[in-house]
A and B are shown apart, each in its own frame.
Chain A
Amino acid sequence: MNGEQRHGIGWTVGFLALFHGVVLLAGFLAPYHFAEQHRDLAYAPPTRIHFFDQYGHFHWRPRVTRLTQDLSTGGYREDPLQVYPIRFFVPVKPGDAAGLLPLRRRLFGVAEPGEIFLWGSDGYGRDVFSRVLYGGQVSLLTGLAAAFLSLALGLLLGTAAGFWGGFADQILMRTGELFLALPWLYLLLAARALLPLHIETAQAFLLLVAIIGTVGWVRPARLIRGIVLSGKERGFVLAARGFGASSAYLIRRHILPLTFGVVLTQATVLIPQYILAEVTLSFLGLGVAEPVPSWGNMLAEARQYHSLVAHAWMLAPGLATVPVLIGYLRVADALMEKTAE
């Protein structure tokens, strides 16, 4: 049972790495720029990919047919006469490179005026698949960066409080209780309320990271403090101190390595929580703003659930969070079990 679980964790970590890799490569894997609009194809359903033409002949190169809107019903019809083959490694249109890794080629694409919307299109006729990939960059990066900030703050303050103790310890722990006394989401929203509402994307992103990261420093700080507190009385630390080691050396060489397990476990707990925090804030209109996508502000569009009934693919950004959460939760569980043993 146990060996089996360990094995499973390896797969989970691999899956998470793959998922992050795919999102990181959005600039290559997404067929469109996240803001590219096709106004005549609003809410187009996911494009069907054909290997056979209308005469039933097989083609190695997959193809798509152009959609035309049926004006009487508002639905879409495939036009069997307008066939466009899918091309691979197409060059990016000038000025279209975007995201974290703006590359010069995209994995696949269709020559104009053909379109390929793997997961359908939204109300402006933007490709949902591309937007989920680019949006993942914002959402995942917020989670990772905010978790990094929380852990850095936690390490700094927790180590200081645990190692030197005394007055600073008291102040830090009381302040921590204050943070814990407020409900998390309320604290997040209230902190956001105090800052300007309408700001540009880069600022909004940094602001989100700063708020989410700062609000969550307490738990890691407390855990790290506990470890430092017990660690500084360990035999080898006392011995090193006896040999005349400086505080800085003791912390760096002996104390910090002890906290590694907790930091890692906390990271796997915090990252999914923070990804959700970004999704929630952007969903409520307090995070990253259009046209830059994030999973949260894309889901906000799905809020018009009357239209959602007909356009189920608009839920894609929400569904994209599920595998990430499953992955992180599994890893966190396994790590916590391991520390408990």
Chain B
Amino acid sequence: MKYVARRLLQAALLLLVVSMLSFLFSTLAPGDYYSELRLDPRVSAETIAGLRAQYGLDRPLPARYAAWLASAARGDFGYSLTYHGPVGPLLRERLRATLLLTVTATLLAWLLAIPVGIWNATQRGTWRDGAVRLLLALLLSVPDLLLAIGFLVLAVQTGWFPPGGMKSPGWDSLGSMARARDIAWHMALPVAVLVLGMLPVLVRHVRASMAEALDAPFAWNARAQGIPRLRLLFRHLMPAALNPLISLLGFSLGTLLSASLLIEVLMGWPGLGPLFLEAIMARDFGVVLGVVMMSTTFLAAGNLVADLLLYRADPRIRVR
């Protein structure tokens, strides 16, 4: 319990420092939302100064940071100048879309990676292992960007999948089953790209940790005692191979928000990625800050979950 409390405190502290630094740097940045407006000759300098005052951009830094903290506590996370509203609700809506994509993809990738990795570890030295490894190495060398563009071209050429977006036009008039099916149909390509992007790394780690367990003296002993293969693999070797995988799972969870940024932008998925990019282009720092904070929170939470799982899974850590 004390361990949990300490880790939670550390995470909170981390978020606070990240928010402070982001805030500091965003004010040091040359130009803000209104500097683009200033190029327009019809807008006078007084109007801009008035607008800046209205949104509190002329106040000193600590006061603005305090105001931001207060609004973060309310769940608003500041004010978006492009969307004319608090950042919080905006983020929550986009967050749902992103999580739908990444949770599905992460789940699928792990469900595929564990059996393939274990199988690979038992086949070491054979041509089958070599073939799978070669395939995965090739996959690792193809940038997600290229993979996504390739899939989109395929979608356009064959018409099997929609070329981007999340919903078909007229989605609102569909029944609930048809709605879900429509979204699933739109999800297929981005999820496929994400899974193919995650798979090589995951399989490699599962294979490595499983191979290590397979070579351990206790595994030889268990085999000599005639324990059935599947029971040996899952009951005896899996727990021994688990530690690095738990850390990897934590990382997987932590990147739930950031893994799909590029894919979302490319495939027109209305998640956090496009929002973040638009906010950068428009210098809407409220949104930039909100997204950064949210993804940092996820990363910290992912690490925390991994550490807690490790704490439960490995008695050696508890003793220390």
Q: Is A101 an interface residue (CB 8 A)?
A: no
Question: Are B141 and A329 interface neighbours, CB within 8 A?
Answer: yes
With an 8 Å Cβ cutoff, the count of chain B residues facing the other chain is: 49
Interface of A, helix, strand, loop or mixed by DSSP? helix
The one of B30, B125, B146, B295 in contact with A322, judged by C-beta atoms closer than 8 angstroms, is: B146
Q: Is B255 an interface residue (CB 8 A)?
A: yes
The one of A186, A194, A309 in contact with B258, judged by C-beta atoms closer than 8 angstroms, is: A186
- The chain B residues found within 8 Å of chain A, CB to CB, are 14, 17-18, 21-22, 25-26, 28-31, 125, 137-138, 140-143, 145-146, 149-150, 152-153, 156-157, 163, 254-255, 257-258, 261-262, 265-266, 276-277, 279-281, 283, 285, 288, 291-292, 295-296, 299-300
User: Contacts A197-B281, A309-B156 hold; do A190 and B292 have CB atoms under 8 A apart?
Assistant: yes
Residues of A within 8 A of B140 (CB): 325, 329
Q: Is A318 an interface residue (CB 8 A)?
A: yes
A225 to B136, CA, bound (A): 32
Residues of B within 8 A of A189 (CB): 261, 276-277, 280
Q: Which of A33-41, A240-248, A251-259, A298-306 lies at the binding interface?
A: A298-306
Question: Are A183 and B295 interface neighbours, CB within 8 A?
Answer: yes
The one of B163, B254, B295 in contact with A305, judged by C-beta atoms closer than 8 angstroms, is: B163
Question: Are B295 and A182 interface neighbours, CB within 8 A?
Answer: yes
Question: Are B137 and A315 interface neighbours, CB within 8 A?
Answer: no
Cβ-Cβ contact count across A and B, 8 Å cutoff? 115
A26 to B9, CA, bound (A): 55
B314 → chain A closest CB, angstroms = 22
A-B residue pairs in contact (CB < 8 Å), sample of 19: A182-B299, A183-B257, A183-B299, A185-B258, A190-B288, A193-B288, A194-B25, A283-B145, A302-B149, A305-B163, A308-B149, A308-B152, A308-B156, A309-B153, A318-B145, A322-B146, A325-B142, A326-B138, A329-B141
Question: Are B276 and A315 interface neighbours, CB within 8 A?
Answer: no
Interface of B, helix, strand, loop or mixed by DSSP? helix
- Residue interface mask A159-201, B partner, CB < 8 A = 1: 0000000000000000001100111111001101111110000
Q: Is A69 an interface residue (CB 8 A)?
A: no
The one of B146, B257, B262, B279 in contact with A315, judged by C-beta atoms closer than 8 angstroms, is: B146
Question: Are B18 and A182 interface neighbours, CB within 8 A?
Answer: yes
Residues of A within 8 A of B17 (CB): 178
A316 → chain B closest CB, angstroms = 11
Q: Is A68 an interface residue (CB 8 A)?
A: no
Q: Counting chain A CB atoms within 10 Å of each CB, which of B29, B145, B257 scores highest?
A: B145
Residues of A within 8 A of B255 (CB): 183
Question: Are B30 and A186 interface neighbours, CB within 8 A?
Answer: no
Question: Are A325 and B258 interface neighbours, CB within 8 A?
Answer: no
B31 → chain A closest CB, angstroms = 7
Q: Is A321 an interface residue (CB 8 A)?
A: yes
Residues of A within 8 A of B283 (CB): 193, 197
Residues of A within 8 A of B291 (CB): 186
- Other A-B contacts than A309-B157, A325-B142, 4 sampled, CB-CB below 8 A, are A189-B277, A190-B280, A284-B277, A315-B149
Name the residue on A nearest B146 (C-beta).
Answer: A318
Question: Are A319 and B277 interface neighbours, CB within 8 A?
Answer: no
Residues of A in contact with B, size category: 35 or more
Q: Is A155 an interface residue (CB 8 A)?
A: no
Residues of B within 8 A of A318 (CB): 143, 145-146, 149
Residues of A within 8 A of B288 (CB): 190, 193
Q: Is A280 an interface residue (CB 8 A)?
A: yes
A1 to B129, CA, bound (A): 14
B105 → chain A closest CB, angstroms = 16
A3 → chain B closest CB, angstroms = 15
Question: Are B141 and A322 interface neighbours, CB within 8 A?
Answer: yes
B114 → chain A closest CB, angstroms = 22
Name the residue on A nearest B200 (C-beta).
Answer: A329
- Residue interface mask A306-341, B partner, CB < 8 A = 1: 101100100100110110011001100000000000
B250 → chain A closest CB, angstroms = 13
A67 → chain B closest CB, angstroms = 24
User: Contacts A318-B146, A322-B146 hold; do A183 and B141 have CB atoms under 8 A apart?
Assistant: no
Question: Are B14 and A178 interface neighbours, CB within 8 A?
Answer: yes
Residues of B within 8 A of A185 (CB): 258, 261-262
Question: Are A299 and B145 interface neighbours, CB within 8 A?
Answer: yes
Residues of A within 8 A of B149 (CB): 299, 302-303, 305, 308, 315, 318
The one of A190, A279, A305 in contact with B143, judged by C-beta atoms closer than 8 angstroms, is: A279
- Residue interface mask A11-47, B partner, CB < 8 A = 1: 0000000000000000000000000000000000000
The one of B22, B163, B257 in contact with A190, judged by C-beta atoms closer than 8 angstroms, is: B22
Question: Are A319 and B262 interface neighbours, CB within 8 A?
Answer: no
User: Contacts A189-B276, A322-B141, A329-B140 hold; do A181 and B157 have CB atoms under 8 A apart?
Assistant: no
Residues of A within 8 A of B28 (CB): 194
A323 to B26, CA, bound (A): 38
A185 to B272, CA, bound (A): 13
Question: Are A181 and B277 interface neighbours, CB within 8 A?
Answer: no
Q: Is A263 an interface residue (CB 8 A)?
A: no
Residues of B within 8 A of A280 (CB): 145, 262
Name the residue on A nearest B125 (C-beta).
Answer: A1
Name the residue on A nearest B130 (C-beta).
Answer: A1
Name the residue on A nearest B261 (C-beta).
Answer: A185
A313 → chain B closest CB, angstroms = 12
Residues of B within 8 A of A330 (CB): 137
A176 → chain B closest CB, angstroms = 12
Name the residue on B nearest A182 (C-beta).
Answer: B296
A306 to B155, CA, bound (A): 10
Question: Are A326 and B141 interface neighbours, CB within 8 A?
Answer: yes
A197 to B29, CA, bound (A): 11
Residues of B within 8 A of A322 (CB): 141-143, 146
Question: Are B18 and A181 interface neighbours, CB within 8 A?
Answer: yes
B278 → chain A closest CB, angstroms = 11
Residues of A within 8 A of B141 (CB): 322, 325-326, 329
